[in-house]
Chains A and B, each alone.
Chain A
Amino acid sequence: MAGYLLIESHDPFENNIVARQYDLAVNLVKEGNQVTLFLVQNGVLPARPGTCSSLLTNTARAGVEVLADDFSLRERGIAPSRLTDGIKAAPLSIVIDYLADGRKAIWH
């Protein structure tokens, strides 16, 4: 089992590849890997309940750890207490911690 860290900096409204990155995370879990999807910058926008939020909720329900950068949330006025189901706020430092753990990191 390998560990992956997928960092998503785009939101699905602006970039069609974003949903495929979510799918990649789910498929990596299905292959037996440990996967975290870390949302940063505009990547946190679907963490606010909206039309694209179900994509993230389904990703989390599939076994992907979905985290949203707390700084990016604050910048965009999204309260960590009001995130869509399955998503947790986390500090950016968790990226460094996961790099130290040897996770394979992919930035999009």
Chain B
Amino acid sequence: MSKTFTFALMDAPFENARSTTALRLIDLAIKRGYNVNVFAYEGAVYLPFAKQAQHANAVHGRSVEEENHPLPRAWIAAIMNEAAGKGIKVDWVNCGLCVDERGAGEAIDGVRRGGPADFWKFAESSDNTLVIGTK
């Protein structure tokens, strides 16, 4: 039986390299064949926000297509698709209170609403847990 890892994320997207590193780690875990739980807390609930949109860059004179601005929701969807293709489980929980505070309810498919108790359950049932805090 494949191992399962839990990652707790707290950073909002587009702000810190931690978000990118966290998604790299999750991707690597899936590439290794491990199941992954994600508990997104505070600003991290915006990582899979469905309304993230690409934009042009007027300063550099680039169109939307030329700018091709990367979106975390697309990275997460790609991670979930990769996992599904391999029969690997990704259970992504957005903290419900954090979602309500931020109006971040419109998440991509595969993300479910939960609470801190889900993080406890994840940690209890996982082979290992990594908490990536904001400091």
Contact = CB atoms under 8 A, between A and B. Distances in A.
Interface of A: 7, 9, 40-42, 71, 92-93, 95-97, 99-100, 102-103, 105, 107-108
Given A93-B32, A107-B130, A41 B21 contact: yes
Interface in B1-60: 3, 5, 17-18, 21, 24-25, 28-29, 31-32, 34
Given A93-B28, A95-B28, A107-B133, 20 more contacts: A9-B18, A9-B21, A41-B18, A41-B21, A42-B17, A92-B24, A92-B25, A93-B31, A96-B5, A96-B25, A99-B29, A99-B127, A100-B3, A100-B5, A100-B128, A102-B128, A103-B128, A105-B129, A105-B130, A108-B135
Interface of B: 3, 5, 17-18, 21, 24-25, 28-29, 31-32, 34, 127-133, 135
A107 B32 contact: no
28 contacts: A9-B17, A9-B18, A9-B21, A41-B17, A41-B21, A42-B17, A71-B24, A92-B21, A92-B25, A93-B28, A93-B32, A95-B25, A95-B28, A95-B130, A96-B29, A96-B32, A97-B32, A99-B127, A99-B128, A99-B130, A100-B127, A102-B127, A102-B128, A105-B128, A105-B129, A107-B130, A107-B131, A108-B135
